Structure 1
Amino acid sequence: MPADLAVIGLGHLGLPLVQAAVAAGIDTVGYDTDPRPCAELRAGRTPVEGSLTASEIRRMLSGGFRPTTSAAELGRVRTAVICSPTPLGPDRTVNLTALGDAARALAARLRPHTTVVLESAVPPGTTENFLRPLLEEGSGLTAGRDFHLACSPSRLDPGNRTHTYASTPKVIGGLTSACTESAAAFYGRLTDKVVRARGPREAEMTKVLETNFRHVNIALVNEMAVACHDLGVDLWDVIRCAETKPFGFQPFRPGPGVGGHGVPVDPGCLPYSSRTPGHPLRMVSLAQEINDRMPSYVIQRCATLLNEHGKSVRGARVLLLGVTYKPDSADQEAAPAREIATRLMDMGAQIDYHDPHVLDWRVRERPVPRADSLYEAAAAADLTVLLQQHRTYDLQGLAVKAQLLLDTRGATPAGAAHRL
């Protein structure tokens, strides 16, 4: 049965798009080369931690959503949106393997007049220099003439109840003006506002700027946190005061590290070409270095606090609270908690954890004991470390119960805990 839309890649990008499309009455098929997500979805379960709930998945299925591993379905749609993962490799360049696999599967079945959109986070030039050749070679069609090609990078913020899919403007850059308009007509059914970029590169670079803006500013306040602690200055009060300025300032807050799916990208590293612009974003590289140091700084603060209270890290019982990368979510993608736990274990500490959204947590493939009673665990631990401020945590009550509390998020009442 033909569908209006094929979403390729049923992960943290693809599933919210499917949800929005089904809610808008768009007949949607979801394709993934990995059979596991499709099997989980057919069973009414989410294949991605911290994404949609089981009830939301069931509503999508009852609304006509069809997850499949059959690539034949891709040749029967009007619009195909590629949401393949593009993680950073060990050399910190973007891995386009999954994107290439998706492009080849689509190309073999691509029909004239289809609109193809790339939502994956990629370096500028990927749509034209990497995706376009794969689609053209595999289909025998020409982008911009026989089919429409555009980039519309995802702007998801999982768990955000204020900025939903519909209320977040969608940036679209097409290979031609007709490509842009075709993609805009599709997204106009899902979002309240469509923003037209000059082309695919501008749309791709918009995502790079948005992600790096956040990354660089987090690095700034992380450095400020270290400096303020050394100087005896309350950074959290500094931020409270600074954010009253009505212009020229946007508040960011420090933490134990950065995580999530939106990774910082240096467009000077183009994995599909040996030619680079020659002007890498040094600010981004420095921000990455600073943010990567934060787990080590948290360990240093843990050791210092224990030492000040006559205890050593070796043999100490340490309770970690919140092991996800963002509050009120089960998603653990790149969360600093695992690195912090690993380092504490290497120093001889006994680690327990508590997280209302994570019932099983493993470090080095070994299960970490989960605290059943939060207050009892905090009272028994030599040190409790708040890594993520989930809404369900009563931080004032926790500060009373804990022997020693390190708050890496500045979420506890002033004076109730040691802050980062």
Structure 2
Amino acid sequence: MKNIAIVGLGYVGLPLSIRFCQSDVKVIGLDVNKTQVDKLNSGKSYIKHISSDDIAPIVDQGLFEASTDFSRIEEVEAIIICVPTPLNKYREPDLSYVLATGRSIAPYLNKGTPNKLVVLESTTYPGTTEDELRPILEEGSGLTAGKDFHLAFSPEREDPGRTDHSVKTIPKVMGGYTQVCLDKCVALYSKALDAVHPVPSCRIAEATKLTENIFRSVNIALVNELKVVYDKMGIDVWEVINAAATKPFGYMPFYPGPGLGGHCIPIDPFYLTWKAREVDQHTRFIELAGEINTAMPDYVVSKVSDALNAEKKSINGSRILLLGIAYKPNVDDARESPSYVLLEKLETRGAEVSFNDPHVPEIQPSREHPDLAGRKSVEITDDYDCILLATHHDEYKSFNFSKFKCPLIDTRNCITNTPSKYYKA
């Protein structure tokens, strides 16, 4: 396959587009955001950790073109869907982006190149590809999956900001609706990636992605719980984890934080929790992990309260500087960031909260926190009642806080040049 379309040009779709183009596969990138499409066509990136130097050459060479016109599906041999799969306010799966994409591409599956391949990469519950997406594609195209077009699921494994692994080097799991569908999927990704791992079905591939992120969620919940318990005992959990990590077998270090963030770990486990109810199963372990992780911002707020109380102040009326809006260090990705929750909880209790983030100069609109959109990053100064560090950006690790007089609460154990009033949370 030499011509493909990738739907959704965000943190997953854009790096994947670049990788295919670098393997001499022509990519039409489809997205509904015209501003982003125009920027990409001018050779510019709108995601901080993705360099324009990787985009400009593939645009100049004619290997990549972004578009809002879904009729261009006619021109390609394969379509890869990389759109969001969030939770709604009831923590139920929201497949609206996936299903809307299916409706948009279905009318063009029977035009141009025959036997097109459709691959879903968006994380979802087992059965989505076959039971939800397939009927929409068949109805909209008049074709039959496995016969007139091919269908597969291959979950994304993108980790924004990571440098030790890449789209090219991370093994790709994939399952097909039929064996021929799987063979087509393997052939496609083998053009651009170092290793693929075929599995017997779409459902197994879907379950694989959920298992990976449930593993992380449960283990993060464990160390978050240990943090609270050890704190009551006067034990530094960070010292415990570092010591345990010296064991060369049977242990893998996970680290506590102020809550979960990102597009995967806070969301994906609940896709399985919701689906499990259909088969009369209750995922108590997963739900308990979710409860622990969701409660961490309250624990952090209590630590802020303790630090202010030591200054004979309360949260109500205090000026607080929040360090970090991104959910992970050194990227501009703020999806599901616990910093939003911390900010809102502190303001609900009467604090005046400002934020600094060298990677997020302005808070962008989001479904969960629309009222925060438009707020801008401020400078780091000592002119606050306290400072709360939520994201361990490199800029904060090297910043000299040693002469600051206000208390600093560090939720990531990352500050080197600490002030005299330094607290871990």
TM-score by length of 2: 0.91
Residue 423 of structure 2 aligns with which residue?
418
8 Å CA contact 1:118, 1:127 repeated in 2: yes
8 Å CA contact 1:351, 1:368 repeated in 2: no
SS in 1 for 2:151: strand
Residue 61 of structure 1 aligns with which residue?
59
Does residue 175 in structure 1 map to residue 177 in structure 2? yes
Alignment root-mean-square deviation, CA: 2.2
8 Å CA contact 1:399, 1:405 repeated in 2: no
Residue among 294, 297, 305 paired with 1:295: 297
Residue 386 of structure 1 aligns with which residue?
389
> What's the offset of the Cα at 1:306?
0.7
Residue 235 of structure 1 aligns with which residue?
237
Does residue 337 in structure 1 map to residue 352 in structure 2? no
Residue 208 of structure 1 aligns with which residue?
210
Does residue 279 in structure 1 map to residue 281 in structure 2? yes
Does residue 370 in structure 1 map to residue 377 in structure 2? yes
Using the aligned pairs only, state the percent identity: 37
Residue 359 of structure 2 aligns with which residue?
357
Aligned residue identity for 1:161: T
8 Å CA contact 2:4, 2:28 repeated in 1: yes
**Alpha-carbon deviations, 1:125-183, whole Å to 9, x = none?**
10110111111122222211222211000000011011101110000101122211111
> What's the offset of the Cα at 1:400?
4.1
Does residue 264 in structure 1 map to residue 264 in structure 2? no
Give the Cα separation in 2 of the matches to 1:124 and 1:134. 17
SS in 1 for 2:340: helix
Give the Cα separation in 2 of the matches to 1:371 and 1:146. 56
Name which of structure 1's ranges 75-84 and 49-58 shifts more when overlaid on structure 2: 49-58
Does residue 403 in structure 1 map to residue 410 in structure 2? no
Give the Cα separation in 1 of the matches to 2:79 and 2:260. 32
> What's the offset of the Cα at 1:415?
7.8
Give the Cα separation in 1 of the matches to 2:155 and 2:11. 13
**Alpha-carbon deviations, 1:371-420, whole Å to 9, x = none?**
33x3xx1x222211111111122457224435211110011349863111
**Alpha-carbon deviations, 1:274-299, whole Å to 9, x = none?**
x8111132222111111111111111
> What's the offset of the Cα at 1:338?
1.6
Q: Segments of 4+ in structure 1 off by > 6 A?
A: none
TM-score by length of 1: 0.92
**Alpha-carbon deviations, 1:18-53, whole Å to 9, x = none?**
111111111110112443432332344445x55523
> What's the offset of the Cα at 1:202?
0.4
Aligned residue identity for 1:264: D
Could you tell me which runs of 5 or more consecutive residues in structure 1 were left unpaired when the two chains were aligned. Answer: none
How many residue pairs match? The answer is 411
8 Å CA contact 1:384, 1:402 repeated in 2: no
Matches within 5 A, 1:42-81: 42-47=41-46, 49-50=47-48, 52-64=50-62, 65-81=64-80
Aligned residue identity for 1:225: K
SS in 2 for 1:131: helix
SS in 2 for 1:15: helix
Residue 324 of structure 2 aligns with which residue?
322
Aligned residue identity for 1:382: D
Give the Cα separation in 2 of the matches to 1:149 and 1:290. 38
